[in-house]
């Protein structure tokens, strides 16, 4: 946890700018300075973490807020005025990506757990087969593409298939 609320910003012993440190690597982060905001903040953070592209969130809780008592029932309404989950790609960007893929001579699809969490294995199969794209996976992407298919290169990496590693080294376009 964080130092007591009244000590934040005073260079207190063991104070750390946790939100500043983690801002570049989180989808959302905040510091809760009032126990009355805690339930709502946790709901918002969980919603943001689990919608759109899943990702890490951080809630910094000062020690006095963590031990404070509050009678709230935990059903606070979320306040996310600027947050919109994007579920569709931009048509122009998709068109540009297709053009780059079509111009490449040795493209390789590199897929991970995002395909599984998005339940997009069928879309991946369709893309790989129609565009004749070889597919290699991360460890967390295993199962996203049928390894018995001719486009499959199996898993990439130190414990992956040598031919997957060679294909990635020699590709002129890595689609990840």
Tens of pLDDT, residues 120-150: 999 999 999 999 999 999 999 999 999 999 9
Q: Which residue, among 46, 45, 52, has the nearest Cα to 86 in the 3D structure?
A: 52
d(CA 118, CA 109) in angstroms, rounded, equals: 16
Residues 6 or more apart whose Cβ sits within 8 Å of residue 97: none
d(CA 135, CA 158) in angstroms, rounded, equals: 17
Q: Structurally, how many domains does the chain consist of?
A: 2
Residues 6 or more apart whose Cβ sits within 8 Å of residue 98: none
Element at 168 (helix H, strand E): helix 162-170
Q: Which residue, among 139, 134, 175, has the nearest Cα to 157 in the 3D structure?
A: 139
Residues 19-38: tens digit of each pLDDT: 899 999 999 999 999 998 89
What confidence score (pLDDT) does residue 164 get? 97
Residues 64-82: tens digit of each pLDDT: 988 888 876 666 777 888 8
Tokens representing 38 are 């805690």
What confidence score (pLDDT) does residue 75 get? 66
Q: Do 53 and 102 belong together in one domain?
A: no
What confidence score (pLDDT) does residue 77 get? 79
CATH code (residue 112): 3.40.50.1220
What confidence score (pLDDT) does residue 100 get? 96
Whole-model pTM: value is 0.64
Residue 159 in any domain: the answer is yes
Q: Do 99 and 168 belong together in one domain?
A: yes
Q: Which residue, among 21, 18, 11, has the nearest Cα to 62 in the 3D structure?
A: 18
What confidence score (pLDDT) does residue 145 get? 96
């Amino acid at each position: 946890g964080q130092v007591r609320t009244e000590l934040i910003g005073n260079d207190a012993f063991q104070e750390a700018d946790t939100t500043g440190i983690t801002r570049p690597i989180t989808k959302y982060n905040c510091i809760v300075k009032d126990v009355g905001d805690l339930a709502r903040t946790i709901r918002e953070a969980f919603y943001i973490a689990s919608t759109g592209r899943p990702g890490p969130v951080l809630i910094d809780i000062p020690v006095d807020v963590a031990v404070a008592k509050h009678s709230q029932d935990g059903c606070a309404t979320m306040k996310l005025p600027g947050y919109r989950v994007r579920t569709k790609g931009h048509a122009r960007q998709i068109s540009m990506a297709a053009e780059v893929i079509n111009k490449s001579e040795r493209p390789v699809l590199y897929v991970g757990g995002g395909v599984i969490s998005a339940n997009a294995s069928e879309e991946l199969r369709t893309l790989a087969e129609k565009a004749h794209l070889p597919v290699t996976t991360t460890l967390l992407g295993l199962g996203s593409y049928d390894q018995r298919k001719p486009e499959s290169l199996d898993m990439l990496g130190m414990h992956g298939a040598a031919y997957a590693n060679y294909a990635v080294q020699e590709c002129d376009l890595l689609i990840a």
